[in-house]
Each structure stands twice: as structure tokens, then as C-alpha cells.
Amino acid sequence: MVNNKIKAAEENLLPVYNRFPIALDHGEGMYLYDTDGKEYLDFAAGFAVSGLGYGNQELNDALKAQIDKLYHTSNLYYHENCGIAARELNRISGMDRIFFTNSGGEAIEGALKAARKYAYTKKNGRYEFIAMENSFHGRTFGAVSVTGHDSYREPFEPLVPGVHFAKFNDLDSVKALVNDKTCAIILEPLQGEGGINLAEQSFMEGIRKICDENDILMICDEVQCGMGRTGTMFAWQGFGVKPDIMAMAKGIGNGIPVGAFAMKEEVAEYSLKPGDHGSTYAGNPLACAAVRKVIEIFEKEDILGHVNKVAPYLTKKLDELVAETDCVTKRKGKGLMQGIVVTKPLKEVNAKAVEEGLLIIQAEGNVIRFVPPLIVEEKHIDQMIEKMKKVLA
């Protein structure tokens, strides 16, 4: 139902999003409710963001308390949460140095700049990037420059020079692009927008080896696949292949706008120094309170353990759906970041899902993506499958 709230948005916002004609009002656990009171089972989590779902009282209380205390300082000063949030993020990510950002795109911008500065300090003459086809790294100029979709890049060319695209999971295509100007190789261990494509173990290991042998930096974009989604805190940990720099966002603040890029001490030593990078808002007391509390809740409630317990059930149910449904040809992905390839037009599938009270997202390659809040239980998966059967009938 198009109501007046939507009308004002349609008339006043730049029309860059294909929004559904619903206005969301509030949420509780796995469910969202629109302004007409209609309930939606959420398997989108606002693009894999709301890992703890909606209305988590402990998180909400922490955020409210922080708002009453202080929510902006600028980075001229320290505040209590910035060090703790950074320390905790380093602990769970295995990195040594953090820079907070306001978004995933900014985390990628920073990661690229950090890599360039590393090469600059080392005077090794390296400035080029190798990125992957079908990748998605965000919409800012640097991020879009390494995004492997022509349609995302073309209208904004010329972009950052010296970016080359290799085939995902094809190590030879990466090797063919490596030269003495290669500064960094950037990839998502599990591609999200590009169609839920999981890196192969040998691909991750092969890239690590190329980087080690040539003083090239390996950058993992964990913006979507990080923060518990694949059953490890960050997806690279599932491969045991540690990047030199990583980008995070989406899940780390459960919806409070916050991202980060992080790096090993050996990289930080040669990388960004005072004056090289900055942000007025980033890492503010509210954002850092969110990160700090989200990590605390993740550990207290063993969200990772839960993901690993419930994900096999999602896999089994989606496999059954593939077997039983003519227009579903394949299941893809890992943990609570999975997708199915459908032969029906996605627009139709999406619209029907909304009608059925189910929120899903599409991805490249006619993929329907399931990235629910990580608190999803088997009963929600059953409910989702029932709705999907109606949607795909």
C-alpha cells in the first residue's frame, strides 16, 4: 500500500534505489512490521547487517545510554569506547591496527589508500590493484574502481587507474595480471552482490602465496561475509588464510553506521600516518558503543555457535527446495550467507515474496540471497521455505 509517507519519499529523494512500496515501522527479533502493521519475516537483515535482529534490548539500552552521555567528539580526542571497540575488533579479527569508518565503501577506500601508502613508503614502485570479476566493493570512486561489474563503473569513468580484473577462483588469471607494479590484490572470500560465490581453498592459498612472494598486499573485503555470517567471525578465518588488510562494516554495528579497515602491524608500520587519512564522524562514541556491545553480545550468546548449529538446517532445506522446485536450479554459499539460482524473473519473485510477508534480496546471476539475522532459528527457516514455495509456485 502506497501511503503518504512513501509519497513524500518518492517525490523528494533521488530515485537511485528500486524500493519496495512498503514503509517499515518497527522490528522484533526476526520480524519487521510496516506502517500498516503487516509482518515480514526478514531473510535480508537490511543487506546482511542486522545480525542480532531487531529490538535487542541490551544493545538498545547501551546505545541509548551512550546518546545521553556523548555521541560526537571528532577524532581530535579519545573517548572511552574507541580504544575498547578497536581492541575488541582486533581481537576477533586477528588484526593489529584499526581505522574506523562510517560505511563499507569508506572502509574499502581506506584499505586501498593504506595499500598505496605502504608501497609509497617502501618506494617499491607498486601502485596497481588486481580485483575480481563479479566483485562488489561499494559506490565511492575507489571502491567502484575495483568493483567487477562494467555497469557499475562505466558511467563514472575514468576511474582510479591501474586496476585489473581477474576471474574469481581462477588463480592462473590472477597470475597473468601480476607484475612489478602490482600493489595489492583485493577480494571478497565470499562474493555477495556478485551472486554468492565462495572462494575455493586453493584460490585463497594461491593468492596468499603470490602476495608473500612479491611483497603484494592481500586485502579481504569482509564487509558482507564478515561478522559471523559464514560460521567464523570473519570468512578468511574459515580458510586459515590471513589477509594483510581487511575491510569490515555491515554486521559490526548491527545497523548503527560504522565500518573499519584493519591491518597487520607490519603493514601499519609503512602505511597511513598523521595527515594521510581521516574522518570527522568516524569512530564516534555511539558507533564504537555499538561495536563494543555487539561483540560482547556475540560472545555472551555464542552467536557463532548458533550460526554453526542452524546453518546446516538452512543448507538442507534449500537443497530440498532445489530438488522439489523446477524453477530453482542450484544452491550456493556458506553458513547464513546462501543463495539459490532461480529461472524466474527476480523482480516477480521479490514482489511475490513481499506479498507473502518475506524479505529476501537478489544478487547477480539470477540469485535469490538469504542473509537473515544470525539469530534465525529452525522454525523461521521452515516458515521461510513455506513462503518461498508459494512464491515460486
Site residues (vs ligand PLP, CB under 6 A): 103-105, 108, 136-138, 188, 192-193, 221, 223-224, 249
User: Could you tell me the three cell numbers for 152?
Assistant: 557499475
**50/224 with CB nearer ligand PLP:** 224
Task: Confirm or deny that 10 is annotated as ligand binding.
Answer: no
Task: Output 27 or 105, the one with its CB closest to ligand PLP.
Answer: 105
Which SS3 state, helix, strand or coil, does residue 23 take? coil
For the beta sheet containing 361-363, the strands, ordered from the edge strand earlier in sequence to the opposite edge, are 328-334, 337-342, 367-370, 361-363
Residue 160 vs 322, nearer CB to ligand PLP = 160
| Residue 103 counted as an annotated binding residue | no
**Nearer to ligand PLP by C-beta: 193 or 364?**
193
Bond prior to 189 in cis (omega within 30° of 0): no
Annotated binding-site residue? 280: yes
Helix residue spans in the chain (DSSP H): 4-12, 45-48, 57-69, 80-93, 104-122, 141-145, 150-153, 171-175, 201-214, 235-239, 265-268, 285-300, 303-324, 346-355, 378-392
Q: Is 151 among the annotated ligand-binding positions?
A: no
Q: Report the residue closest to ligand PLP, judged by CB.
A: 104
Distance CA 38, CA 241 (A): 44
What minimum distance in Å lies between the beta carbon of 128 and ligand PLP? 20
CA quadruple 11, 13, 19, 25: dihedral positive or negative? negative
Distance between CA atoms of 102 and 249, rounded to whole angstroms?
A: 8
Nearest approach, Cβ of 168 to ligand PLP (angstroms)? 13
Smallest distance from ligand PLP to CB 104, Å:
2
CB of 250 to ligand PLP, least distance (A): 6
Binding residue per annotation — 244?
no
**In whole angstroms, how close is the CB of 376 to ligand PLP at the nearest point?**
19
| Helix/strand/coil (H/E/C) assignment for every residue in 133-195 | CCCCCCCCHHHHHCCCCHHHHHHHCCCCCCEEEECCCCHHHHHCCCCCCEEEEEECCEECCCC
Nearer to ligand PLP, 138 or 206 (CB): 138
- CB nearer to ligand PLP: pick between 321 and 338: 338
Closest CB to ligand PLP among residues 260, 314: 260
Q: Give 191 or 350: the residue with its C-beta nearer to ligand PLP.
A: 191
Q: How far is the CB of 215 from ligand PLP (least distance, A)?
A: 25
Please report, for residues 310, 349, 352, 369, 392, the alpha-carbon distance to residue 359 in angstroms, rounded to integers and kept in the order given.
19, 11, 10, 10, 14
In the bound complex, what is the minimum distance in angstroms from residue 249's beta carbon to ligand PLP? 5
Q: Is 136 annotated as a binding residue?
A: yes
> Which residue type occupies 302?
D
DSSP designation for 253:
G
| CB-based contacts of 363, cutoff 8 Å, min separation 6 | 192, 193, 194, 195, 196, 339, 369
Any binding-site annotation on 200? no
Residue 279 assigned as binding residue: yes
Minimum Å gap between C-beta 354 and ligand PLP is: 21
CA 301 to chain centre: 22
The single-letter code of the amino acid at 180 is D
Please state the residue numbers annotated as binding site for N(2)-acetyl-L-ornithine. Answer: 139, 279
Q: Which residues are annotated as a binding site?
A: 136, 139, 221-224, 279-280
Cite the annotated binding site for pyridoxal 5'-phosphate by residue number: 136, 221-224, 280
